[in-house]
Structure 1
Amino acid sequence: MITGPAGRLKPWPRGNHNVAVLEDATGTHLIGSKSRCQKKLKWEQTPGSTCGETDSKCMTFCTTRTPPPSTSSQSMEHRSMMQAANHLISRNHQNLPVPFPVNISNYPFAITKGRMDPLAADFCLFKQSFSSCWSSVVHALEALEKLLRDYAVPMAKVSGERLVEFSHGWDSGWRTARPVIGLVSVLENWEEVLGLVSRPGQRFKGEGGIEAAAIHIQSCWRRCVARTAYLRHCRRKWAAGTISMSWLMRSQMRGVRKALQARRLRQLESYRSRAQNLAADWKHIQSSKRTIIHIPSLGYSQSQRLNLREFDTLQNIQINRLCEIRDKNVEVIYVCPRHLGEDILHYYTSLLVRDGATDGADNRTTEASSSVRPFIILTPEAVDYFPTRNMCLSTLLKYSTRTLKRIRHLIQGKQAYIVGGVAHVDDLAVADELGVPILGPEPAIAQLYSTKSGGRRIFKGAEVDVPPGQGDIYTLNKLHEALAEIMTQNLGVQRWLFKVDSEHSGRGTAYCDVCHLSCSSWALQEYRRHSVELRNTKWIQESVLLRYSDEIPEWLTRYARPAKASRYPNWACFLKTFLRQGGVVEAYPPSDSVTCLTVDLLLEPGGERPCTPSARAWAGPVCSAASLGHVSVDLATFLNHDTMEQEVWAIDLDLTYSDQLAMTQMLLMRTGGTLNCHTCCLEVPVREKYCEDQPAATSPVVNRYAVLGSHLFHSNLSMLYHNVFLMMCRAHGIRFNMKRKEGTVFALYDSSERCRIGMITVSEDLQGALVTFARNLSVIHQEISSSKMQEETNFKELTKNIEDVLQTIVQNKLRAVKDKPAA
């Protein structure tokens, strides 16, 4: 703290500023601070008094006005103030503001057109008053003049006091970066000047404006050129980086693709080599102990798999492959596409007892009890990694190293082979990883001949009767031409079917009735006018063909309908898929009563011919040198009204293990019976009532009839757990009698959704089996449904179909009784 005769200076904290209070002899408080040009120091001085020392930390001192002194005292006071100012300037090494004389005004003066009159009285008074600090003020004044000249300001009124404050309010570096706002703030008419300075283009009206404009234009042009060149360089650099990265990725992809192709080629060669060994040892394998690895994979294309709901449940519908353990030489490793609950494991544990004599079993897991029963259920760990990808089971198993290691351990030292589902390229990878053969065709062959067009080629090569039609249609013109040609040659067909090559289960089928075609009746009249020999001549068919070609496009657009509207809402959507994937045009059997049959065959690796259910169904064996394994053939049989003989058409071919075959395995396991292909009967051994302990080998054999349904769907089934559902069925008498080998058996697929089940009913005659099946559907539907609930189900449709079949059976029996001659 510094004190003097006029007063004392003491620190006084105020906010974030260091404030000093100077008390004079009369007790007046004088205030100063460190902030720039904001806080003021009130300085009162009487004649003859001297200014004491001030704190060197004070940054700004602004004066207060006092009445003007007399002329005699003004010079003396001026000298004393100059001494005090010089003393403060010498103390302030940072060019900080200095205190002003208290007996002067703000010293205004004018600058006209950027030029100051050095002889003006107001300017001379200002210069004389601040001569001690003029060296710092003159730089600010010169900068202000240059600013006013550059912007052609006509008149500026300067406040001398503000100019001094501004010149001492900046450090030594202010001259190199003078703010325009700071310079304008020293003017009394600063608003007018600032508006003029801020006007666009004003700089080019002042001193050196032409040069400034030229420089500005050149700089803008150079900047534009430089930026354009820079952006071009950046684009080229980005393009070069993108091209190099793309080339690098393409090279890597090419290398990976070649490696994958080489690996798949090795896997295919290994498959063929193991298939030859399997064919050579097939008879020995069939008669000895063996392990069958069942992988019910649906290796459809990605687009097909993504469009299927509950894809994992659809793959698990063939869980009844476990029933192949009815052969005592067979052990089954079943790869399950989803995790099964304890309820399903317990159900199949009790169901798959070899002798079928007990209804219960312990609730141990499948792997823990593998020593008790010859089947193991394994779920790949990749199921948890790809829950929403709808990947086929072979692909999931390929990426499940722990499950593959477990299977290798289980089949070590045993004869084993794989039975897959719909063939996929990853089947070869799994077989190569396990080192076992596959009982099935190559994936490429399966994909080629499992289509509708491929099946027709197989049937024609085997000289099997097929519906009139044409396959491999990919364009609309070819569709119209093929349809017109085959319709001309088959006028008796009243409905034509359109089938997408890669679809399955009737999903990709559409139809169109000939009755909507206006020229159909005219075509029939034309044919009836000529004899049978002339009808097949080209000149007779030419007129009908031309008439059909004209009307078919509009006929299809107006009257063609997809069979399943849930898959294809209209003909346009169906036609788009049909032409993209290819398809077949076929005739619907020309009869009111058509029966569809499915025949499951096994093309053995040893080259044995499969047994055929009917000699009239085949003109030759259905086998191919490039195909082996399980084959499913769909047949349509009907009565030809022209010849009054039964005809059989082969309408579809699937090179896969069918759902019907899996249900048949369950039927044979539960009944202990066998299928006699020669008599087309299910022969079941039944114990007599008086001999409960009679062995099955010596039991009398009776015929049984069964109805199988593998795709029963009801959305309300999810409300019941499986044990509750089975208890409900037992309460209504829906169960299987092991002694009589009659009743109902259920197939359970999943523990979470529980919307799909399978059902088998067995009875002494076909009518009884159908009645039992329909009754079970009705009872289950009534128990789990109500009038207020909306459900999705196929129970009603199946029940109606069964009622139609029962009505046909009754009519046939009545007709047989009427036709029977009297005794």
Structure 2
Amino acid sequence: MSGGGDEMNAFRGLQADLAARWALADGDGPEPRDIVVIPSLSFDGIDTVSIDGVLHYEERMLFALNLLRRPRARLVYVTSAPIHPAAVDYMLSLISGIPNEHMRRRLTVLSLYDNTLVPLTKKILQRPRVIEHIRHLIRPECGMMTCFTVTEAERSLAVALGVPLYGVDPELCWLGTKSGSRWAFRKAGVPLLPGAEDLRSDTDLVEAIDGLWEEHDAVERMVVKQNTGFSGQGNAILDLSALTAVSPKSGTSRKVREQALADALPTMRFVDPRQTWETFQEKFEREGGIVEAFLEEEDKRATSCQLRISPEGSLDAISTHDQLVEGIDGQIYAGCRFPSDAAYRMDIQRDALRVGEVLQDKGAVGRLAVDFLCTQADDGAWKHYAIETNLRLGGTTHPMMLLRMMTDGRYDPDTGLYLTPRGEPQFYVATDSMRS
């Protein structure tokens, strides 16, 4: 099966059992449960990204080993390249109350020994023997598959393994694109930056930029984003300061201004240094994108709120983080600080939950995050703008899950703090950019 009607029907049948399987995997009962972890970076263009050590991102989901604290749980963790045994031993050492040897017997770490920059899920689908091996390692009647992100490839693999998939149905993945995010923000009634979405061509882009410039003539820069770029790699900055001679204030005709904008697109600064206008344009036309006003305030912060929509129907806030950013104009995620600043964390949590309600109404399930930009006015008040929804795990997921492994505490949605069983608040800073 490869995405046709038979696969879709099979997937729907498997997903009908997701709520029961998820409750089993997440619960404290003695029942057996098997979890297949597929930490695949299933993003278009993953083979061309310039992220150092991107293959090691597959280790981000090692927090899933915490499920082995249930005595009858079994877990299969699949990777492209072998994980050093010391890393696995360290993660298991964070789980208190269960002997390491006992958990080791219920854990299978399976490597494909394939370092190519092809999404892991596609590699597995190309290896029928690996699929069969995984099927023999699990009990399908109590099994479930969980992933870093969900695409049609993950759906195909879930069907091949005969287990439900914990994550957003690929039919709803458009909600996690840059255009889909702006649609959900408007539907939820949360603040967002001036911009335009559902753009597909140079003409769309030029007309949208021109319209924004006319409406907001003080804007100095604009950011153009591909719909499915990640970690800022699909973004480009258009500097309008070099085009003041044709600005809306200059009295220049729209035709002349739009021609000047079209000529300026190839000069944009691309966040990915290996990107060219030709490669950027090709992907933009293929998948679409958006343009937004660039927020120029010096005192601005990138922050986010993480949510979980359970298959049983609950919607919960599970953390807020201030993001550490680097690269061109702070477009690349480099790490995070928990929790977000007290001055605005409850505000972004409230608005993220509003977005979550919109997504839940459309049928979304799983972990997600809503990203914001926050700025402080002269009077000290903070304003925030929703900029993106990630319908997947992200850079803030594993630090929080590791904290849970180490402390067995809980997130308090009333304060935005994480508390140990003794009520002690916990704080941390985490990075994705440590280099030797």
Superposed displacement of residue 497, structure 1? 0.8
Compute the TM-score of the two structures, normalised by the length of structure 1: 0.44
> Is contact 1:323–1:669 with CA below 8 Å preserved after alignment?
no
* Structure-2 residue corresponding to 1:676: 412
Give the counterpart of 1:483 among 209, 216, 224: 209
* Structure-1 residue corresponding to 2:119: 392
> Is contact 2:42–2:149 with CA below 8 Å preserved after alignment?
yes
- Measure, in 2, the Cα distance between the counterparts of 1:426 and 1:522: 46
Give the counterpart of 1:628 among 365, 369, 375: 365
* Structure-2 residue corresponding to 1:472: 198
Give the counterpart of 1:597 among 303, 314, 328: 303
- Measure, in 2, the Cα distance between the counterparts of 1:597 and 1:588: 16
Q: In the superposition, relative to structure 1, how do residues 398 and 413 fare at CA in structure 2: closer, same or farther (>3 Å)?
A: closer
In structure 2, what residue type is equivalent to 1:377?
V
**Match of 1:656, SS?**
coil
Q: Are positions 1:416 and 2:123 aligned together?
A: no
Q: Identity over the aligned pairs, expressed in percent?
A: 21
**Match of 1:600, SS?**
strand
* Structure-1 residue corresponding to 2:329: none
Deviations for 1:82-104, whole angstroms, at most 9, x for unmatched residues? Answer: xxxxxxxxxxxxxxxxxxxxxxx
- Measure, in 1, the Cα distance between the counterparts of 2:279 and 2:132: 46
Q: Are positions 1:441 and 2:181 aligned together?
A: no
Superposed displacement of residue 378, structure 1? 1.5
What's the Cα RMSD here? 3.4
In structure 1, what residue type is equivalent to 2:36?
I
Superposed displacement of residue 313, structure 1? 1.3
* Structure-1 residue corresponding to 2:18: 278
Superposed displacement of residue 572, structure 1? 6.2
Give the counterpart of 1:294 among 37, 48, 73: 37
* Structure-2 residue corresponding to 1:378: 110
- Measure, in 1, the Cα distance between the counterparts of 2:197 and 2:406: 42
- Measure, in 2, the Cα distance between the counterparts of 1:276 and 1:493: 49
Q: Are positions 1:407 and 2:134 aligned together?
A: yes
- Measure, in 2, the Cα distance between the counterparts of 1:402 and 1:518: 61
Q: In the superposition, relative to structure 1, how do residues 327 and 460 fare at CA in structure 2: closer, same or farther (>3 Å)?
A: farther
* Structure-2 residue corresponding to 1:318: 60
> Is contact 2:95–2:406 with CA below 8 Å preserved after alignment?
no
- Measure, in 1, the Cα distance between the counterparts of 2:122 and 2:102: 26
> Is contact 1:315–1:337 with CA below 8 Å preserved after alignment?
no
> Is contact 1:590–1:640 with CA below 8 Å preserved after alignment?
no
Q: How does 1:342-357 map to 2 (within 5 A)?
A: 344-353=84-93, 355-356=95-96
- Measure, in 1, the Cα distance between the counterparts of 2:183 and 2:224: 17
Superposed displacement of residue 550, structure 1? 3.2
Gaps of 5+ in 2: 321-344
Give the counterpart of 1:554 among 243, 251, 260: 260
Superposed displacement of residue 371, structure 1? 5.5
Deviations for 1:155-209, whole angstroms, at most 9, x for unmatched residues? Answer: xxxxxxxxxxxxxxxxxxxxxxxxxxxxxxxxxxxxxxxxxxxxxxxxxxxxxxx
- Measure, in 2, the Cα distance between the counterparts of 1:311 and 1:425: 25
* Structure-2 residue corresponding to 1:652: 388
- Measure, in 1, the Cα distance between the counterparts of 2:365 and 2:424: 34
**Match of 2:122, SS?**
helix
> Is contact 1:519–1:547 with CA below 8 Å preserved after alignment?
no
Superposed displacement of residue 428, structure 1? 2.4
Q: How does 1:174-573 map to 2 (within 5 A)?
A: 260=1, 264-279=4-19, 282-283=22-23, 286-287=26-27, 288=29, 289=31, 290-301=33-44, 304-308=45-49, 313-325=55-67, 328=70, 331-340=74-83, 344-353=84-93, 355-356=95-96, 372=104, 374-380=106-112, 383=113, 388=116, 390-412=117-139, 415-446=142-173, 448-518=174-244, 523=249, 547=253, 550-551=256-257, 553-554=259-260, 557=263, 560-564=267-271, 566-569=273-276
Deviations for 1:231-256, whole angstroms, at most 9, x for unmatched residues? Answer: xxxxxxxxxxxxxxxxxxxxxxxxxx
- Measure, in 2, the Cα distance between the counterparts of 1:326 and 1:519: 64
Higher relative contact order (CA 8 A, sep 6+): 2
In structure 1, what residue type is equivalent to 2:414?
H
- Measure, in 1, the Cα distance between the counterparts of 2:304 and 2:105: 32
* Structure-2 residue corresponding to 1:705: 427
- Measure, in 1, the Cα distance between the counterparts of 2:125 and 2:306: 28
> Is contact 2:217–2:248 with CA below 8 Å preserved after alignment?
no
Superposed displacement of residue 275, structure 1? 1.7
Superposed displacement of residue 654, structure 1? 2.0
Gaps of 5+ in 1: 1-259, 362-368, 524-542, 686-699, 718-823
- Measure, in 2, the Cα distance between the counterparts of 1:672 and 1:270: 37
> Is contact 2:234–2:272 with CA below 8 Å preserved after alignment?
no
Q: How does 1:90-169 map to 2 (within 5 A)?
A: none
Superposed displacement of residue 402, structure 1? 4.2
How many residue pairs are counted as aligned between the two chains?
A: 399
**Match of 1:454, SS?**
helix
Q: In the superposition, relative to structure 1, how do residues 334 and 521 fare at CA in structure 2: closer, same or farther (>3 Å)?
A: same
- Measure, in 2, the Cα distance between the counterparts of 1:307 and 1:682: 38
> Is contact 1:421–1:656 with CA below 8 Å preserved after alignment?
yes
Deviations for 1:638-692, whole angstroms, at most 9, x for unmatched residues? Answer: 1356x9642222211222122321232223323444333322223246xxxxxxx
**Match of 1:650, SS?**
strand
- Measure, in 2, the Cα distance between the counterparts of 1:455 and 1:510: 18
> Is contact 1:312–1:338 with CA below 8 Å preserved after alignment?
no
Q: In the superposition, relative to structure 1, how do residues 516 and 337 fare at CA in structure 2: closer, same or farther (>3 Å)?
A: same
Deviations for 1:578-612, whole angstroms, at most 9, x for unmatched residues? Answer: 34542211012252211111322222112212337
Q: In the superposition, relative to structure 1, how do residues 660 and 606 fare at CA in structure 2: closer, same or farther (>3 Å)?
A: same
Compute the TM-score of the two structures, normalised by the length of structure 2: 0.78
> Is contact 1:632–1:656 with CA below 8 Å preserved after alignment?
yes
**Match of 2:34, SS?**
strand
Q: In the superposition, relative to structure 1, how do residues 413 and 552 fare at CA in structure 2: closer, same or farther (>3 Å)?
A: closer
Deviations for 1:319-354, whole angstroms, at most 9, x for unmatched residues? Answer: 4333433753654321122123xxx21332144135
Give the counterpart of 1:578 among 284, 288, 293: 284
- Measure, in 2, the Cα distance between the counterparts of 1:572 and 1:426: 27
663-672 or 513-522, which deviates more:
513-522
Q: In the superposition, relative to structure 1, how do residues 435 and 558 fare at CA in structure 2: closer, same or farther (>3 Å)?
A: closer
**Match of 2:203, SS?**
helix
In structure 2, what residue type is equivalent to 1:660?
T
**Match of 1:503, SS?**
coil
Superposed displacement of residue 464, structure 1? 2.7
> Is contact 2:61–2:148 with CA below 8 Å preserved after alignment?
no
Q: In the superposition, relative to structure 1, how do residues 311 and 593 fare at CA in structure 2: closer, same or farther (>3 Å)?
A: closer
Superposed displacement of residue 469, structure 1? 0.6
> Is contact 1:337–1:379 with CA below 8 Å preserved after alignment?
yes
- Measure, in 2, the Cα distance between the counterparts of 1:412 and 1:522: 65
- Measure, in 2, the Cα distance between the counterparts of 1:673 and 1:561: 46
> Is contact 2:243–2:260 with CA below 8 Å preserved after alignment?
no
Q: In the superposition, relative to structure 1, how do residues 351 and 630 fare at CA in structure 2: closer, same or farther (>3 Å)?
A: closer
Q: In the superposition, relative to structure 1, how do residues 505 and 518 fare at CA in structure 2: closer, same or farther (>3 Å)?
A: same
Superposed displacement of residue 271, structure 1? 1.6
Deviations for 1:461-488, whole angstroms, at most 9, x for unmatched residues? Answer: 3333221111122232322221121222
In structure 2, what residue type is equivalent to 1:603?
I
Specify which structure has the higher proportion of strand.
2
